[in-house]
Amino acid sequence: MEKKSNYLFETEAIRTQMERSSFAEHSTPIHLTSSFVFEDAEDMRASFAEEKERNIYSRFSNPNTSEFIQKVVQMEGAEDGVSFASGMGAVFATFATLLNAGDHILSSRAVFGSTHALFTKYFPKWDIATTYFAVDALEELETLLQPNTRCIYVESPTNPGVDILDLEVIGKFAKKHGLIFLVDNCFATPYLQQPIAFGADLVIHSATKLMDGQGRVLGGITVGKKELIREVYLFARNTGGSLSPFNAWVLSKSLETLAVRVDRHCENALQLAQKLEEHPKVNWVKYPFLKSHPQHQLALKQMKLGGNIISFELTGGLDAGRKFINAIQMCSRSANLGDSRSIITHPASTTHSKLTEEERNEVGISLGMIRLSVGLEHPQDIWNDIMTALDA
Ligand SMILES: *Cc1c(COP(=O)(O)O)cnc(C)c1O
């Protein structure tokens, strides 16, 4: 890696670059190689003994993954990081590293579906238990602590309810009780929110979303405290969920434009949220930078802008939700989010269809609720598409 400096966020995202090869390329090339060669026996010995920092095998490290990691580390204000083949690869490896049989996790109920599956379906096999807390009940945290509680885990903003959790309050709680504080910062990106400043020990991302931002590749990353990352790294390199150099190259290039893209995503989203709020067929709209959002002040405190996800409820319930999805012409009906293309989903009939009514309420999903991932198309075209579908 070229020497770091005190550049600001946007500059770091562009000027953090691996060393040039003898070809003096301006833009980073892709290093598609599974292994690296040694000079002699001594070079080999010293490399394996980690007496020198160098690449050995691409499951351990690669120049492209190192560049991607270095950028995210700087953006999040972290000490070190590990990259993964997907966001879930990062979530799983991080927990698997930190936890032992018999440990207990405190987690916000509003977590990504596959994370919920880890907590409820797989971790119990290894005697790891999880207790959920509601996003608006942080004052109850104390009562949920157990002697074996090891860590506390949150996402903010949440999916798909777009609730905001107070990271500073949770950071203080974690510190007081000696818990490891983990944040899935995927919806905010490090451009809008840096959880380490509020006390997070580790920050996890699905780089598949706004980091790539163009719906091309899967990727994941965990960054944070050096000693914890060291353990996560060793777990990752032995278990093999490594990020491919090609995907790392795509992601590192994407980060060069993260700030400008996310600025525009947020500008479009705020405009659309304001328009939706005035539409007669919409009961409510939830967007962190709308004054009507229940945690608006908190969002202003811990986020630079409101993000690109809006949730809103149609007046006609489940049936209206399905009709609306069918009437949409331009926005994509797709499971992804954080793409340059706007994407709509109807959680009650898809991602969250197996939840009971009570469970749905806990994560802020109603039958007529729509989740909109606002893209980078002209906001007038996105609005025309939504308005036409609302009137259909
Ligand atoms: C998508 C997502 C994940 C999982 O990431 P993948 O790259 O799909 O494995 C985890 N957390 C959140 C909040 C997500 O949106």
CA of 186 to the centre of ligand 1 (A): 7
Same-domain check for residues 180 and 127: yes
pLDDT at position 3: 43
Total structural domains within the chain: 2
In this structure, the residue with its CA closest to atom 8 of ligand 1 is: 87
- Of 207, 231, 255, which residue is a domain's last? 255
Same domain (yes/no): 194, 321: no
Q: Is residue 4 part of a domain?
A: no
Q: Whose CA is nearest to atom 12 of ligand 1?
A: 112
In-domain check, residue 75: yes
**Do 275 and 197 sit in the same domain of this protein?**
no
| 191, part of any domain | yes
What's this model's pTM, rounded to 2 decimal places? 0.96
Burial 190-214 (b: 16+ CB within 10 A, else e): bbbbbbbebbbbbbbbbbbbbbbbb
Residue 173 maps to which CATH number?
Answer: 3.40.640.10
Ligand 1 atom at minimal distance to the Cα of residue 220: 7
Chosen domain end from 234, 255, 276? 255
Q: How far is the CA of 24 from the centre of ligand 1 (A)?
A: 36
Please report whether residue 3 resides in a domain: no
226 and 269 assigned to the same domain:
no
Whole-number Å distance between alpha carbons of 54 and 59: 13
Distance CA 345, CA 362 (A): 19
Question: Is 2 a domain residue?
Answer: no
CA of 106 to the centre of ligand 1 (A): 19
Integer Cα distance of 382 and 374 in angstroms: 8
Using left for φ > 0, alpha for ψ between -120 and 50, and beta otherwise, residue 294 falls in: alpha
Please tell me the predicted confidence (pLDDT) of residue 2. Answer: 44
Does one domain contain both 37 and 137? yes
29 and 49 in one domain? yes
Which pLDDT belongs to residue 378? 98
Using CA positions, which residue lies closest to atom 1 of ligand 1? 206
Tens-digit pLDDT profile for residues 80-132: 999 999 999 999 999 999 999 999 999 999 999 999 999 999 999 999 999 99
Separation between Cα atoms, residue 143 and residue 145, nearest integer Å: 6
Same domain for 217 and 346, yes or no, is no
**Residue 282: predicted pLDDT:** 96
Which is it for the CA torsion 364, 365, 369, 373, positive or negative?
A: positive
What pLDDT is attached to residue 338? Answer: 97
* Of 220, 255, 290, the domain-final residue: 255
Given phi > 0 = left and psi -120 to 50 = alpha, else beta, which region is 72? alpha
Residues lower than pLDDT 70 in the chain: 1-5
Q: Whose CA is nearest to atom 2 of ligand 1?
A: 206
- Residues 134 and 30 occupy one common structural domain: yes
User: What is the pLDDT, as a whole number, of residue 4?
Assistant: 56
Rounded to whole angstroms, the Cα distance separating 111 from 87 reads 13
Which CATH number goes with the domain that contains 354?
Answer: 3.90.1150.10
Q: Calculate how far, in angstroms, residue 111's C-alpha sits from the geometric centre of ligand 1.
A: 10
Check whether residue 224 and residue 320 sit in a common domain.
Answer: no
Distance 114 CA to ligand 1 centre (A): 8
Distances (CA, A) of 336 to 111, 137, 209, 262, 268: 16, 29, 7, 16, 18
247 and 269 fall within a common domain: no
In the three-class reduction of DSSP (H, G, I as helix; E, B as strand; rest coil), residue 366 is classed as: coil
Residues 366 and 380 in one domain: yes
67 and 215 co-located in one domain: yes
User: Can you tell me which residue has the tokens 């400008």?
Assistant: 260
Let me know if residue 1 belongs to a domain: no
Residue 283 lies inside a defined structural domain of this protein: yes
Rounded to the nearest angstrom, the distance between the alpha carbon of 205 and the centre of ligand 1 is: 7
Q: Report, in this order, helix, strand and coil percent for the chain, each rounded to 5.
A: 40, 15, 40
Q: Which domain holds residue 367?
A: 258-391
Burial class (CB in 10 A: 0-12, 13-18, 19+), 114: middle
Pocket lining for ligand 1, CB < 6 angstroms: 86-88, 112, 155, 159, 184, 186-187, 206, 208-209, 218, 220
